[in-house]
Structure 1
Amino acid sequence: MYQQKYWNLLKELKVHVYYVQNYAVTQNKNDQIINIFLAVTSSSSIAAWALWKEYEFVWAFIIATSQVVTAIKPLMPYKKRLSALNNLGDMLSVISLKAERDWFFVSEGKWDEEKIHSQWADLKEEAFAAEKKCLAGLTLPKNKSTLSLAEEETDLYLQSTYS
């Protein structure tokens, strides 16, 4: 029972590592899309001056949208989330590696149930402390596709490493 409990935690930690990494990639892409939009609209509005009269409403809308995005961009959570996710990913990776290192002792029956439970609880506490430290005040909306991808990557990793 305690071996299975430890294995489940090891798997959960690995899913968290992949989830946080994939979530960070998504946040980075969102930030890049916004930056590209702003760069294109600011440079193309000047280049499109000749077309201005023909598509006056379209260009006015694009420029207005660009100005609104520029104004609210500092309030958007992408940069803060990205920094927090990178830090959290690093911390969870270390905790996950520790769990994998100790899996040998668990799987080979070298630890008794009390020791397994103690290590399991320590890992849970470390993961919670890492989340609390890195995500202080930040919320991460759940992303089902990112979670599914993380679960797939974890299954592949565990199959190739421990099968």
Structure 2
Amino acid sequence: MYQQKYWNQLKELKVHVYYVQHYAVKQSKNDQYINMFLAVTSSSSIAAWALWKEYQFIWALIIAISQVVTAIKPLLPYKKRLMALNKLGDALSLIALRAERDWYFVAEGKWTEEQIHTKWSELKEDSLASENKFLGGLTLPKDASSLSLAERDTDAYLKSTYFN
């Protein structure tokens, strides 16, 4: 029972590591798309306005939108989340590595159920402490596509590492 409990925690940690990585990539892309939109609109809107006078309203609207995005961009969470996610990902990776290192002792029956339970509890506590430390007051919305990718990557990793 405790062996399975530890294995489930190890798997959950790996999913969490991959989830944070995939979510960080998504946050980075969102920030990049916003920056690209602002760069394109600021550099091309004035030229386009001069070339296509019949679409002046459209170009004025695009310029207005880019100005609003420029004004609210510092309030968007992407940059702050990305920094926190990178630090959290590193911390969770270290915890997951420790869990994998200790899996040997669990799988080979070298630890008692009490020892396994203690190690399992430490993994959960360390994971929660890392989330609190690096996320602080930040919230991470659930992202189904990142979770799906994380579960797929975890299954592939565990299969190639432990069942080959």
TM range, normalised to the smaller chain?
A: over 0.9
Question: Does structure 1 retain, via aligned residues, the 8 Å contact 2:19–2:150?
Answer: yes
**Structure 2 contact 49–59 (Cα < 8 Å) conserved:** no
Q: For residue 55 of structure 1, give the secondary structure of its aligned residue in structure 2.
A: helix
How far, CA to CA, are the matches of 2:157 and 2:92 in structure 1? 16
Match of 2:35 in 1: 35
Residue pairs, 1:1-163, within 5 angstroms: 1-163=1-163
Identity of aligned residues (%): 75
Unmatched runs of 5 consecutive residues or more in structure 1: none
Q: Which runs of 4+ in 1 moved over 4 A?
A: none
1:65 CA drift (Å)? 0.3
Give, as a single letter, the amino acid of the residue that structure 2 aligns with 1:41.
T
C-alpha distance in 2 between matches for 1:49 and 1:77? 32
**CA displacement at 1:67 relative to structure 2:** 0.2
2:40 and 2:102 map into 1 onto residues whose CA distance is: 51
- CA drift of 1:45 comes to 1.5
Partner-residue secondary structure (3-state), 1:54 = helix
- 1:74-125 alpha-carbon deviations (Å, 9 max, x no partner): 0000000000000000000000000000000000000010000000001100
User: In structure 2, what residue type is equivalent to 1:108?
Assistant: E
Instruction: Provide the aligned length of Structure 1 versus Structure 2.
Output: 163
Cα distance in 2, alignment partners of residues 55 and 49 from structure 1: 7
C-alpha distance in 2 between matches for 1:139 and 1:49: 41
Q: TM-score, normalised by structure 2?
A: 0.98
Deviation at 1:49, TM superposition (A): 3.4
TM-score (norm 1): 0.98
> For 1:124 and 1:162, how far apart are their aligned partners in 2?
22
Unaligned runs of 5+ in 2: none
State the Cα distance separating 1:51 from its structure 2 match.
2.3
Offset at 1:50?
Answer: 2.2
Q: Give the letter aligned to residue 33 of structure 2.
A: I
After alignment, is 130-139 or 48-57 more displaced? 48-57
Give the deviation of 1:48 after TM superposition.
1.4
Pairwise CA RMSD: 0.7
- How far does residue 145 in structure 1 lie from its aligned partner after superposition? 1.1
The superposition leaves residues 9-39 of structure 1 with CA deviations (integer Å, 9 ceiling, x where unpaired) of 0000000000000000000000000000000
Partners of 1:17 and 1:70 lie apart in 2 by: 32
